[in-house]
Amino acid sequence: MSETAAVDAQVRGAAGVPLLAVDGVRKRFGGLTAVKGASFTLAAGEIVGILGPNGAGKTTLFNLLTGFIAPDAGSVKLDGHELKGLAPYRIVNRGLARTFQLTRPFLGMSVLENVLVACLAPRVRHRMASEEHARRILDQVGLREKAASPVEVLPYGDLRRLEIARALATDPRLLLLDEPFAGLGSSEIEPLANLIKRLHREENLTILIIEHKLREFMALVSRVIAMDFGEIIAVGTPAEIVRHPRVIEAYIGRTEGDGAAA
Amino acid sequence: MKVRAIDIGGAIGAVALLALAPVLGNSGYLTGVLTLCVIYAIWAASWDFMSGLTGRENFGHALFIGAGAYTAGFLATVYFANPWWSLPLSVVVAMAFAVIVGFPTLRLRGPYFALAMLSAAAIMQRLMLIFWEQTGGEEGLYGLEPLINSPLHYYWFVLAVMVVTAAVLMLLARSHWGLILRAIKGDEATCQAAGINVTFYKIASLMISAAFAGLGGALYAHYQLQVSPPLFSVITSITIIIMVYVGGMGSIWGPVLGAILLTLLTEMLRGFGEYRLWIYTLVLMLILFFLPGGLVAPLWRRLTGARS
Amino acid sequence: MLQILVYGAVISAIYAMLSVGFTLIFGVARILNLAHGSFYALGAYAAYFLTSVAGLPLLPSAVLAVLFVAGFGVAMERFLVRPLRKSQLAVLMITLAVSLAVEQALLITFGSEYRNVPSFVADKVTVVGVDISGQRLLALVVSVLVLLGLWLFIQRTRLGAAILAISQDPEAARYMGIPTDRIFSTVMAISAGTAALAGVLVAPFLTVQPSMGLLPMVKAFAIVIVGGLGSIPGSIVASLMLGYSETIVAYLISSSWTELVSLVAIVVTLIIRPAGLFGRRAAF
């Protein structure tokens, strides 16, 4: 208990004015508690990683934050406004966008149309509902040449970029990326990492990234929240996290990088 | 898909042909058949707008058709209203049905939604029989007045309504609205992630679909001058779906032509009497097995050399 | 009161027979079979034809009728549904087409007038002080026995275990080498056979006419929605709920209002608990 409190203090200490405040969010599925009372905050402009082996509850936590799953308890506040209980699309329109770990494009539509749909979200519709705007976003993620292709023929790496483009089209203040590097070859990882860095810097986006491998994002994030078995076990800089005994025990100790615990 | 000159030319040609056919044929019978063709075209187009675009196949479109037709029937036989009131009021009633039925059922996907709509229409048909004192039971309601006395003029009026219906629905389908409906067909969760209020668009689309179906129902009631429970029947719904299938789902104009062709076919097969439905079933099976994309729309694209 | 208890039991048992087959073929093969009501109608008509036209004794007629419809169901699944299984809409369309074709065939062959089937048991029986026709009682007893038999079959036999495995996880079952196609045929035979048996049992005391299958189909659907699509215990519990609600409504208001019960049941369930009482998945 005291340890959790210490972790909490650490989180709050690290944040300035919290853009996102997650407090005691909990979710049970049948007998299994997928997320056991997660609490943390994000300051505006931060880029933070959530680290944990497969099955640690990271994606469930994302689903809880974005309204795709209703939490049993706790609160999620974006800029002081409660998000809990809102439908997922409403949360997006409050400025919290996400990507899916398994890419989920709109089939039967072109790349441009995929992004255009998100430009029609009420939050941005009045100023962004145009092909020009959708094209600008495709530019940002490096998919301009693919605008007219049907999504069905898109290689995997481009689908990952399309996920990000769709999220960006809703002009989020906070972007949640669910394992953006999953399934990518080593030659594709660095350009994508650079894209995320650029978005963080140029668009002043606050970004929360899930990753279950250490290597990919240790250089990317300024702070890491480590999870295991549905609990936040440690928070700190990447350098602190890799030395944290509970992280080493729960995670690195098991298998190098791949979290075979699942 | 871009609209090409040849498409617009084809549409104008088809409408002109439809408008002139009864004059050229100089036959009251043909006028009657074509009126029926055009009413079915309205129903097929309205089905396609909701179900073809979002992929939520509505197996109870007859619910809205019957609601519109019975609205016209009640107005005529109970309230003795001016028959022109039928048109706006049937639209309103059909849209109300869409809201009432849509909220519980549109949360469901695929076959669940299809069956729920099928049940809703079947039960409405049943209710018409249960409350026979009000609805006239099996016989239905008689004594509607025609909107326009000349059958030829009425046909032109219905044709004009159909052209406007198809044009409005096609414009909507090509607009951002249609894009969102196609996105809903693709993946509802992704739509949510894109900030789109999926429920709103589904309900609103069902309302639009119902509005035109109800309007067609009222036009039908003032054509037959009576309404009866089979309007709500599964056969009505399935006939429309077969028409959409033949026309090519999702294009709106394809189903319009599919409806006209199949209604004409039905008339030509009138001699076969009871076996007609079997022929329909056979047509459906052939399409399902050999032409899953439909007949009319793919054929036109092929003939005029459109890509995709 | 006792009357409600007994008559409700009969209706519930018939509904259970109808809906178990409907939910079973969905659970196993993901076929939402709109021709399910036709099996029921075909069963009743086959019984009518064999007894009244062909002049066969009752029991062999009943057996033949059930076997005939089971064979019809298997053929439908094999030749019409299986090639289209990839698209759920196509499956819905083809099964609906079959149901319309069957209805039309019955209409052409037998005409639209009501047909009578002789009762298996002519006498009136008194159960717990309630007079009930022997045929209704027979329908109740046979339904309960068939459902029990089905339950034992699924719980106790290898084939039953395989059916259960597929309905719980079709992919895994395929990997385990369970021959899914053969199982689909078996389940289709059971599904069509039980529906036909329900038709045979009710034929003597309900009206036999070509469109008799539609409403039971809607009711089977209502039951399956309430109980949870694919869940056998769910459909049995829901059958009892619907059967008794209808009996009570018929008793308190009028029998013509009973049709509304299933509508209300569907709507209420969809609003409150879309997965149904025993459904595992949300919605679908």
Is C276 part of any domain? no
What residues pair up with A210 in beta bridges, in sequence order?
Answer: A50, A178
Confidence tier at C121 by pLDDT (50, 70, 90)? confident
pLDDT over 90 percentage in chain A:
47
Is the model's pLDDT at A18 over the cut of 70? yes
Chain C contact residues (CB < 8 Å to B): 32, 34, 80, 83-84, 87-94, 96-98, 100-101, 104-105, 107-108, 214-215, 218, 221-222, 225, 229, 256-257, 259-260, 262-263, 266-267, 270-271, 274, 283-284
Interface test with B, best of C89, C103, C207 (most B CBs within 10 A): C89
The CATH number for B202's domain is 1.10.3470
Q: What is the pLDDT of residue C45?
A: 94
pLDDT band at C284 (very low <50, low <70, confident <90, very high): very low
Has residue C254 got a pLDDT over 70?
A: yes
CA distance B291 to chain A (A): 19
Predicted confidence (pLDDT) per residue in C75-120, tens digit: 999 999 998 888 877 888 889 889 888 988 898 889 888 888 887 7
ipTM metric: 0.84
Q: Is residue B149 part of a domain?
A: yes
Confidence of residue A7 (pLDDT cuts 50, 70, 90): very low
Instruction: For residues C86 and C48, give the distance between their C-alpha atoms in angstroms, rounded to a whole number.
Output: 37
Beta bridge partners of A28: A33
CA distance C234 to C13: 14
Is residue A256's pLDDT more than 70? no
Contact call for B and A: 3+ CB–CB distances under 8 Å: yes
Residue B241: its chain C contacts at CB < 8 A?
93
**Cβ contact, residue pair A117, B192, below 8 Å:** no
Give the neighbor-by-neighbor strand order of the sheet with A18-29.
A32-43, A18-29, A73-78, A81-82
The pTM of this model reads 0.85
Q: What is the pLDDT of residue B135?
A: 86
- Domain of C148 in residue numbering reads as 2-211
Q: Which of A122-126, B1-5, B16-20 has the lowest mean pLDDT?
A: B1-5
* The two structure tokens encoding residue C44: 């009743």
CATH classification code of A2-95+172-252: 3.40.50.300
Lowest mean pLDDT among B153-162, B205-214, C117-126: C117-126
Which residues of chain A does CATH 3.40.50.300 include? 2-95+172-252
Whole-number average pLDDT of chain A: 85
Which among B72, B63, B48, B90 is positioned nearest to B229, based on CA atoms? B63
**Count of domains forming chain C:** 1
Average pLDDT value for residue range B59-79: 93
**C122 pLDDT above the threshold of 80:** no
Arithmetic mean of pLDDT, A108-114? 93
pLDDT at C44: 93
Tell whether the model's pLDDT for residue B13 goes beyond 80.
yes
The string of pLDDT tens digits covering residues A212-235 is 777 767 888 999 999 888 889 889
The answer to whether residue A257 scores a pLDDT higher than 50 is: no
pLDDT of res. B25? 82
State how far residue C127 is from chain B, nearest Cα, in angstroms. 32
Q: Which residue did the predictor score with more confidence, C44 or B294? A: C44
Instruction: Tell how strand A73-78 and strand A18-29 pair up.
Output: antiparallel
User: Does A70 lie at the interface with B, CB-CB under 8 angstroms?
Assistant: no
Please check whether residue C280 lies inside any domain of the structure: no
Distance from CA of B97 to the nearest CA of A (A): 25
In a domain, C282, yes or no: no
Q: Is the pLDDT of residue C282 over 50?
A: no
Q: Which of B1, B174, B192, B307 is the best substitution to test chain A (most A C-beta atoms within 10 A)?
A: B192
- Find chains touching chain B: ≥3 CB pairs under 8 Å: A, C
CA B47/CA B113 separation, integer angstroms: 14
Question: What is the nearest CA distance from B242 to chain C, expressed in angstroms?
Answer: 9
pLDDT, tens digit (0-9, with 9 covering 90-100), for A165-190:
999 999 999 999 999 988 888 888 88
Task: State the pLDDT at residue B193.
Answer: 93
Q: How many contacts, defined by CB atoms under 8 Å, are there between B and C?
A: 107
* Preferred mutation among B101, B129, B277 to probe C, highest tally of C CBs within 10 A: B277
Q: Tell me, what's the pLDDT at A13?
A: 43
> Which domain, by its residues, includes B271?
5-301
pLDDT category at B152 given cuts 50, 70, 90 is very high
pLDDT band at A14 (very low <50, low <70, confident <90, very high): very low
Check residues B237 and A214 and name the one with the higher pLDDT: B237
d(C-alpha C54, C-alpha C63), whole Å: 14
Residue B119 is nearest to which of C98, C108, C218, comparing CB atoms? Answer: C218
Indicate yes or no: CB of A121 within 8 angstroms of CB of B194: yes
* d(C-alpha C85, C-alpha C26), whole Å: 12
Number of domains in chain B: 1
Q: Is residue C201 part of a domain?
A: yes
Q: Is the pLDDT of residue C49 over 90?
A: yes
